[in-house]
Structure 1
Amino acid sequence: MHSLETVILLLVFVLGLALLAQRIHLVFPILLTVGGLVIGFIPGLPRVVLDPSVVLLVFLPPILYSAAWYTNWSDFRQYVEPVIVLALGLVLVTSLGVALLAHSIIPGFTVSMGLLLGAIISPSDAVAATTIMKTQSVPRKIVTILEGESLVNDASALVLLQLALTSVTTGAFSLENALLEFVILSVGGIGTGLALGFISFCIHKHAKLEPALETVLTFVTAYLAYLVAEHLHLSGVLSVVTAGLFIGHKQSRVHSPIVRMQAVAVWDFVIVLLNGLIFILIGLQLPHVVNAIRGQSADYLCVYGIGISLAVVVIRFVYIFMADTVSNQIRSLIHRAPIFPSRRYTTLLAYISMRGIVSLAAVLSIPEKLPNGSPFPGRNLILFITFCVILFTLVVQGILLPLVIRALAFGQPSTDYLSRHEVQKQLSQRALRQVQRLIDQDKLTGIAVQAVIAQHQMRVRELANAETAPLLDQHQLNQKLMLTSIQAQRDELINLRDRQQIDIELFHEMENELDRQEIQWHPVSG
């Protein structure tokens, strides 16, 4: 079977799984994991061989850039303390714990190989968990911390992966040198991402490119941030994340509605495609991986997979409860309220330890051979254990997550965010003031002017009375006033986001509504 035919076949399979996930109301990543396992044992399917040197390059930049793009910087900054404690401390503790456990229970498994395995399976993946929690009554604080942890721990784990790969390849490891290299990789990667993000921002703002080219530029930024940092021997992952955070926070002010809507559609397609392909690709390799693990019985392989999976879960529980206890004591001494009001928050945060696409991409990036030409030690076993951890944490814990949430009984979550109705009211009031200012400034008169004023006055009155506001009439004579009002609403919406008064999901939803309205009134915008 030709390579193109194989890719098309895999895409059809991914699409089928997506449709099945919607039909049976199962989170897509969970079904992808099971589907990847099943497809690997279907006879007659081709073996897809991936070049380990390009796996991270192909899969990670768009996935990490997209996640950073949608991150609310204000929320991220507000909860930076727990995010850093989880994304740095927990990654390090998990990696070391897995390294020691693997070294003690797996014959011939060195500490360096264990550290490599630990770095691969240490980053959590919040996609499945947050998707499930959207249908449950869960405090927004937990979702925000999980998303921030998932974003940053990908970077810290993959920096640690680079150090572990060097250790296995050279056979030497120095803690002092590793820590120094970690700092250099991290700081350099962040600086590179900021520089390239700023350059991309200037191009977006001043170049006035066609919408299609603007979308291309977003992809170029993601891949260039990774490539430049890697070429400079810095952290490409942190560079991508930093550039994504920077551009994502600025995009509401520099992208036109057409560019934003087109880019979001293209990016959503690419992310679904990459997520689907990598799960299926590892499924196709699993039978060959299992066959290649010589000298190990199936019973022992299961023990290794289940044992390390349980260790990952237990380490997270112990670490988070200890960190929460220490944090509460410190905050009590400095007279600050605890981050979490009860242990229910800590329990849910500790339970959610799903692994996903970053671990898959990381394990597939391990080279098959060492520089001297000998096989990379334990590669197939590391790949097998990684899939076991993903299968256990994503499928088993993911399926049980709704039951855990209901058992914790959070009730109706309180929030400091404004409701959708309150946001609409503030936007309409801002629009009315801005339109009136324009009318007074340009001394505008006529039926069109009075019609627009009447529409916005009616909208403000009806929102004040909690009634549904009517749709705006689309009339060409009103274009200037309507675009002014839309821009005023957009400015107010961004201000609400920057003041942390609006949930980030509602922000993107209402921004999308304003984009559609602006495109209707000014279709040549771009």
Structure 2
Amino acid sequence: MEPSVELTLRIGCLLAVIAACNVAAIKLRLPDALTLTAAGLALGAALLIAGVVAPTFTAQTIQPFLSPSLRPEGYLWIFLPPILFQAALEADAAAMARDLLPILVLAIGAVFAATLLVGITAHAISGASLAVCLLVGAIVSTTDPSAVIDLFRSSGVPARMVRLVEGESLLNDAAAITLASHLMARIVGQPAHAMTGSVLGDLFGSLFAGGLLGALAGALLARACRAIPAAPLSRFTLSLALPNLLYPIADLWLHVSGVVTVVSAGLTAGTLLRRTTTHEEHTIFRHLWRSMGGMAGGMVFLLAAMHVPDLLRGLRGPDLWLILCVLIAALVSRWAVLGCSLPLLSRLGMCAPLPRAHRLAITWGGVRGPVTLVLALCAAQAMSLPPEARHLASVVAVGFVLVNLTCNGLTLRPLVRRLGIGGDGNAGNHA
């Protein structure tokens, strides 16, 4: 089959599956992430079974079609910029600024806490090197709150809860990717690839420099959109070009976080466009971007999930116990940050109090998603890493995502109702 025909068919099939998953999610009242994961697992399992039943036919026809030759990190380069930009456009930058400190605690503190506690737990149980176990901790530390935010909004929870989860999701990818990159570079003996050599230096340098670059780019985009009268398609196309240009420029040439740069651009552009365009114009713009972000998120989730059955072929009995312990460690670390750091900041007058019920819901809402799967794929296919690192990444991290997504994703709505946070409930008003 011609490569161009194969690519066209693949894109068409992916979009059709995403549409079917969205319909199923609406009918079953489930998060899109769950239906997309189920579809990806089914496709990946079908590929494995077909490879056993008809290996020649599968290798020549099905495998090239179902298994993209794109390297795992390519998923981040292609799909992550529009996903981040769309989420940033939707966010209320002014409201987020009022909660900047707790958002940074969640986005950065929770990532480091999860990396440390998960790494120590995995090291104690598996006996693998601490650096490798910390890498697994960094991989599973980032959250994907898209399903959580939709559930929170539909349940009528306070706007501040949604804002905190949104803010965390916009920045914790940068922290997790920076930390995982450092650890991978040091494990393979290439510390020079870890940028400045300091995790905190890289991270906060990226936050500052990437934030400035993104704010400038976002302001320029808003000004350009204002100069294009009554042309929604032109505005959308120009805005679509921005994150796809910014991400590689920031990451490869300027050596700052592409994640932070794109997020800053989206926040700035969204704020300025809301002020300077009519309601109708901005509504069209948001709807176009919401569709784009949904398709990009669906594609990366589906493509990453297709690799899961193959990655789990090496699953052993002791790995199940390790996955369970890693899940508990991640949950404990998240609750420690929310239950200790935020109340302390509140007592010091540095942020508004967050009721205990709200902290519990946000803790349980730390659902992992496509970025975690992609980072696990990158580690699993990195031949420069030792076998133990590739095994833990492919089995523990992927198993963690599946159990976490299923367990937390299915039980979060009942938990919110039981805590009395949504609707007319008042249990969440008591600290």
State whether TM-score is above 0.5: yes
Q: 2:353 is paired with a residue of what secondary structure? A: coil
Residue 269 (str. 1) matches residue 291 (str. 2): yes
Question: What residue in structure 2 maps to residue 161 of structure 1?
Answer: 180
Question: Which among 223, 228, 236 is matched to residue 258 of structure 2?
Answer: 236
Q: Distance in 1 between matches of 2:250 and 2:275?
A: 27
Residue 320 (str. 1) matches residue 338 (str. 2): yes
Question: Which among 239, 250, 275 is matched to residue 218 of structure 1?
Answer: 239
Question: What residue in structure 1 maps to residue 56 of structure 2?
Answer: none
User: For the Cα contact (< 8 Å) 2:382–2:390, is it kept in 1?
Assistant: no
Q: Distance in 2 between matches of 1:347 and 1:392?
A: 19
User: For the Cα contact (< 8 Å) 1:86–1:149, is it kept in 2?
Assistant: yes
Question: Which among 353, 356, 375 is matched to residue 339 of structure 1?
Answer: 353
User: For the Cα contact (< 8 Å) 2:88–2:270, is it kept in 1?
Assistant: yes
What are the residue-to-residue correspondences of 1:42-441 with 2, within 5 Å? 42=46, 43-44=49-50, 46=63, 47-107=67-127, 109-170=128-189, 172=191, 177-206=198-227, 208=229, 210-230=231-251, 231-255=253-277, 260-291=282-313, 293=314, 298-331=316-349, 339-340=353-354, 342-366=355-379, 368-369=381-382, 378-410=389-421, 412=424
User: For the Cα contact (< 8 Å) 2:114–2:334, is it kept in 1?
Assistant: yes
Q: Distance in 1 between matches of 2:197 and 2:306?
A: 40
Q: Distance in 1 between matches of 2:398 and 2:162?
A: 25
User: For the Cα contact (< 8 Å) 2:219–2:272, is it kept in 1?
Assistant: no
User: For the Cα contact (< 8 Å) 1:140–1:413, is it kept in 2?
Assistant: no
User: For the Cα contact (< 8 Å) 2:312–2:394, is it kept in 1?
Assistant: no
Unpaired runs of at least 5, structure 2: 51-61, 427-431
1:453-504 CA deviation, whole Å, 9 max, x = no partner? xxxxxxxxxxxxxxxxxxxxxxxxxxxxxxxxxxxxxxxxxxxxxxxxxxxx
User: For the Cα contact (< 8 Å) 2:139–2:176, is it kept in 1?
Assistant: yes
1:188-236 CA deviation, whole Å, 9 max, x = no partner? 2112212222222232233558432211111111112212211211111
Question: Which among 27, 33, 53 is matched to residue 29 of structure 1?
Answer: 33
User: For the Cα contact (< 8 Å) 1:363–1:386, is it kept in 2?
Assistant: yes
Question: What residue in structure 1 maps to residue 57 of structure 2?
Answer: none
Q: CA RMSD in A?
A: 2.8
User: For the Cα contact (< 8 Å) 2:327–2:404, is it kept in 1?
Assistant: yes
Question: What residue in structure 2 maps to residue 18 of structure 1?
Answer: 22
Shift of 1:84: 1.4
Shift of 1:388: 2.1
User: For the Cα contact (< 8 Å) 1:138–1:413, is it kept in 2?
Assistant: no
Q: Distance in 2 between matches of 1:362 and 1:242?
A: 23
1:351-410 CA deviation, whole Å, 9 max, x = no partner? 22111123233334448345xx67776335313323322222222112111221122123
Question: What residue in structure 2 maps to residue 439 of structure 1?
Answer: none
Question: What residue in structure 2 maps to residue 420 of structure 1?
Answer: none
Shift of 1:258: 6.5
- Structure possessing the higher radius of gyration over alpha carbons: 1
TM-score of the aligned structures, taking structure 2 as reference length: 0.84
Give percent identity, aligned residues only: 24
Judging changes above 3 Å, is the alpha-carbon distance between structure 1 residues 255 and 110 closer, same or farther for their aligned structure 2 residues? farther
Shift of 1:64: 0.6
Higher relative contact order (CA 8 A, sep 6+): 2
Q: 1:170 is paired with a residue of what secondary structure? A: coil
1:67 counterpart letter in structure 2: A
Q: 1:234 is paired with a residue of what secondary structure? A: coil
Q: Distance in 1 between matches of 2:26 and 2:260?
A: 34
User: For the Cα contact (< 8 Å) 1:40–1:284, is it kept in 2?
Assistant: yes
Residue 7 (str. 1) matches residue 29 (str. 2): no
Q: 1:41 is paired with a residue of what secondary structure? A: helix
What are the residue-to-residue correspondences of 1:441-460 with 2, within 5 Å? none
Q: Distance in 1 between matches of 2:386 and 2:344?
A: 45
Judging changes above 3 Å, is the alpha-carbon distance between structure 1 residues 177 and 300 closer, same or farther for their aligned structure 2 residues? same
TM-score of the aligned structures, taking structure 1 as reference length: 0.70
User: For the Cα contact (< 8 Å) 2:120–2:130, is it kept in 1?
Assistant: yes
Q: Distance in 1 between matches of 2:288 and 2:347?
A: 47
2:249 counterpart letter in structure 1: V
User: For the Cα contact (< 8 Å) 2:214–2:261, is it kept in 1?
Assistant: yes
1:304-325 CA deviation, whole Å, 9 max, x = no partner? 3222122211211222212244
User: For the Cα contact (< 8 Å) 2:304–2:374, is it kept in 1?
Assistant: no
1:63-122 CA deviation, whole Å, 9 max, x = no partner? 011111111012101222211111111111111222222233334x33332232222221
1:224-266 CA deviation, whole Å, 9 max, x = no partner? 2212211211111100011011001011234466753443333
Q: How many residues align?
A: 402
Q: Distance in 2 between matches of 1:156 and 1:309?
A: 20
